[in-house]
Structure 1
Amino acid sequence: MPETRIRMAVPADEAALGELDRATWSPLHAVQPAPEPPYRPFFDERHLPEDYLVAEEVGDAPGRSAGAGAVIGYLRLVPATPLACNRHVRQIQGLAVAESARGRGVARALLRAACAEARRQGARRITLRVLGHNAPARALYASEGFAVEGVLPGEFFLDGAYVDDVLMGRSLTD
């Protein structure tokens, strides 16, 4: 089985990340409508390559030379706000894993790498928001030490139903 490696994104990842983002769109986690052409750039002035951790599959795979990596996931990690008094908090603002790589621990590896990167950046806390009906994601986050810190009931009206916005976080100093 190919190995998964986590690294920081680079500008050359734009096409692969955009394709992955569109392929993994789901009402289970998205509050925006499904993307339609013409597609917006994946990277822009608010979404920089250095904000993303990329999971890539390395090793031998059909149609790929040994050592070449295929992008199979990403996680966006940014400061929670631009405020100096909040500088110690990082926020996860997006996580996606290719359908073909699900169930192999890629999301968990991305979460662990995000916590390590946040610590490297000097953060003491990490937070995220997840839709209330996304039980698989909520269970994953809980298993990695994230706790529900707040709920905004019925915050979104998606696909004909009101959905809670669940705020989760964890300390990075334990």
Structure 2
Amino acid sequence: MDALTLRPVRPAVSADDAELAELDRSTWSTLHAVLPKPAPPYEPFFDEGHPPEGILVAEAAPGTAGGAPRIAGYIRLVPPTPLASNAHVRQIRGLAVATWARGAGVGRTLLRGAFAEARSQGVNRITLRVLAHNDPARALYVSEGFAVEGVLPGEFFLNGRYVDDVLMGRSLGPA
């Protein structure tokens, strides 16, 4: 793999829809997905419940080839509920890294970008859910300060077996 030049994480814009939709489809895996594999006709990435405002993207360009930057990954960071009493929390509801960009720190860059964005919104806590068998994601989350806060045993039945849903969270410190 060529070295990648990562750009700073940025908010998604409507024009990212097609590229993000393709990234989402190309990274679908039973390692993290609880919904069936997408099939045509494909839905847009952005819709009323998933606007660009809740997505941060990482762009990268090949370091040696001088190619144009393209989206290497995204993270969806949203309020977990509409309740005012829960407004100090954001939840990660999706993180994907393009196959061609894996191993270059894109996931870590997206997490850290999400931490910065959450802090700028006055948030002091981030939570997420991850499937128990997704060891790479769990290791990344732990290395970035997340701790297991609960486990829903056998919450999903995937590929003929029951899979635990792991709830993780971390503090961002005072807002």
TM category, shorter: over 0.9
1:172 equivalent to 2:172? Answer yes
Equivalent residue, structure 1, for 2:138: 138
Using the size of structure 2 for normalisation, the TM-score is 0.94
Residue deviations 1:90-111 (CA, integer Å, cap 9, x gap): 0000000001110111000000
Aligned length: 171
2:6 alignment counterpart: 4
- After TM superposition, the structure 1 = structure 2 runs for residues 151-166 of structure 1, keeping only pairs within 5 Å, are 151-166=151-166
Q: From 1, 25, 29, give the equivalent of 2:28.
A: 25
> What is the CA deviation profile of residues 2-33 of structure 1, one whole-angstrom value per residue up to 9, with x for unaligned ones?
31121110000000000000000000000000
Q: What TM-score comes out, normalization by structure 1 length?
A: 0.94
CA contact under 8 A between 2:126 and 2:169: conserved in structure 1?
yes
Measured in 1, the distance between the counterparts of 2:146 and 2:63 equals 35
More displaced 10-residue stretch of structure 1: 49-58 or 10-19: 49-58
RMSD: 1.4
**SS at 1:72 equivalent:** strand
Q: Percent identity at matched positions?
A: 69
Residues 149-171 of structure 1 deviation map (CA, whole Å, 9 limit, x = unaligned) = 00000000001000000000000
Matches within 5 A, 1:83-102: 83-102=83-102
Distance 1:128 1:2 in 2: 27
Unaligned runs of 5+ residues in structure 1 are none
3-state SS of the aligned residue for 1:15? Answer: helix
List per-residue Cα deviations over 1:35-79 (Å, max 9, x = no partner).
000001100001010100101014666584xxx420110000001
**CA contact 2:80–2:89 (8 Å) conserved in 1:** yes
**Structure 1 residue 80, shift from structure 2 partner:** 1.2
Contact 2:4 2:63 in 1 (8 A): yes
- What residue ranges of structure 2 are gaps of 5+ in the alignment? none
Runs of 4+ in structure 1 deviating by more than 4 angstroms, as ranges, are 59-63
